[in-house]
Amino acid sequence: MEGAKIDRYRQIVLGIIPGTAKQREMLVKYRHGFSLLCEGWTPMQVAHELMKEFDCGTTMGLRIVRDSIAIFGDAAKFSKKGMKAANYERLMKLAKKCEERGEYGTARLLIKDANELLGLVGDSEEHLENNAEWMRPDGFVIITDPAVLENANKIITVESEDAEIINDEETTSPDNLSDSQTG
C-alpha cells in the first residue's frame, strides 16, 4: 500500500493527476521537508521543524521526512558538488546572521570557510594537487607499424639537421653586442 501512495504523489508532482485537496496539502509538507533536507538539515532537525510549523507530532514529522525522501529522492546522496554548494549557502547565511548581530570576526571566519569549501582561496590558476603534476605526460602512443616508424624517423632526422647549433661564444649579451647589431 505504501508504494502506491508514493507513486500517486509522484504523479501529482509530475502533473499526471491533479490530486485531492488533502493530497496537495500533504505535498506542501513533503516539499518543505525535502527543501530543508536539501539545505543540509538532518532528518531529525527537519522532523522537529515540521512539528513546529505544521503542528504535528514526532511520528508524523518523521513520516513526512521519510515520505519526502521516497517521493523526491535522498538529498544526502546528491553529488559532492551539490553538497558543497548547499553547505556554502548555509555558511553564508550563518555569516550574514553573525554580521547582523555585530559578530564580524565570526562572520569573517564563516566566509573564509565557505570560500575554502568551494576552492576560492589561494592561487587556483593551475588547479594542480601536486606541483610536479604539470610534468606528467598525457599519454603514450605506441606504434608498431614499420612504415610509420620509418616516416617518424625521417621527420626527426630532418628536424635535427635543420636545427641551428649555437655556441656559448656566439651568444650576445647587452655588454657584448656584435658589430652587425650595433651599426
13 contacts 24 by C-beta, under 8 angstroms: no
Range of the domain at 108: 80-118
Instruction: Indicate the pTM of the whole model.
Output: 0.44
Query: Residue 133 pLDDT > 80, yes or no?
Result: no
Between 180 and 10, the more confident residue is: 10
Q: What pLDDT is attached to residue 183?
A: 47
Domain boundary among 21, 53, 77: 77
Q: Are residues 17 and 35 in the same domain?
A: yes
